[in-house]
Amino acid sequence: MLRVLAATGVVASLFGSPVSGGDSLPTPPDRIVIDVATVNGSGCPVGTAAVAVSPDNTAFTVTYSQYLAQVGVGSKPTDFRKNCQLDLRVHVPQGFTYAIASTDYRGYAHLESGAVGIQRAGYYFQGDPQTAYGTHRFNGPRDDNWQATDTVGVAALVWAPCGEERNFNINTELRVAAGSSDPTSTTSFMTMDSTDGSINTVYHLAWKTCP
């Protein structure tokens, strides 16, 4: 089990003020502690995903080193879809709860003309049927970095239950479809990758006090 106490400098900008019924509140005085209970999926084999928390407790970052979906020459039939399920145990200071307010995803895509890439994510707390989703589509031709942001309105935030510790689950997915491109002579791929330290996934937290 991996325990993360502080950031490592990869978070460049943070989501705005904490929220509670529209009123701004100070962020918790103590740091978040995140235990990574499990990391499972074809996009994040053991030892290829890392989590870091920002010093001011308003964001955490997940970086990957082997998150690649592809179709075409050199690809296996199962390579068109990759996913990663992060099961996080988030310890927050007493009297506070949190929700994921927005997420920033970054990666690289090489998509032939006619090919399509999909990035999708779902967020939910253990035992809670409410799940928040975000989906982004990228069309070929494309050969460049990509970035996508999911933003959740205050009314739609899925808050952690006050006074309870429930694991927070993040299920991300990359899909690549050949579409009208020719997979017998071309390769299309999409990554979420941390090779240069600047391609990562940032999850921004909103805070509110518990009754």
pTM over the 0.85 mark: no
The helix/strand/coil state of 21 is coil
Those residues with Cβ within 8 angstroms of residue 209's Cβ, 6 or more apart along the chain or in another chain: 20, 25, 95, 96, 97
SS3 1: coil
CA angle 121/124/128 to nearest 5° reads 150
User: What is the Cα–Cα distance from 18 to 158, expressed in whole angstroms?
Assistant: 14
Task: List all residues 6 or more positions away from 164 whose beta carbon is below 8 Å from its beta carbon.
Answer: none
What tens-digit pLDDT sequence spans the chain (211 residues)? 333 332 222 222 222 333 333 345 556 767 777 777 888 899 999 888 888 877 776 778 888 999 999 999 999 999 999 999 988 888 888 888 888 888 899 999 999 999 999 999 988 888 887 888 889 999 999 999 999 988 876 667 778 888 888 888 889 999 999 999 999 999 999 999 743 334 568 888 888 888 7
The phi and psi torsions of 80 (rounded to 5 degrees) equal -65, -20
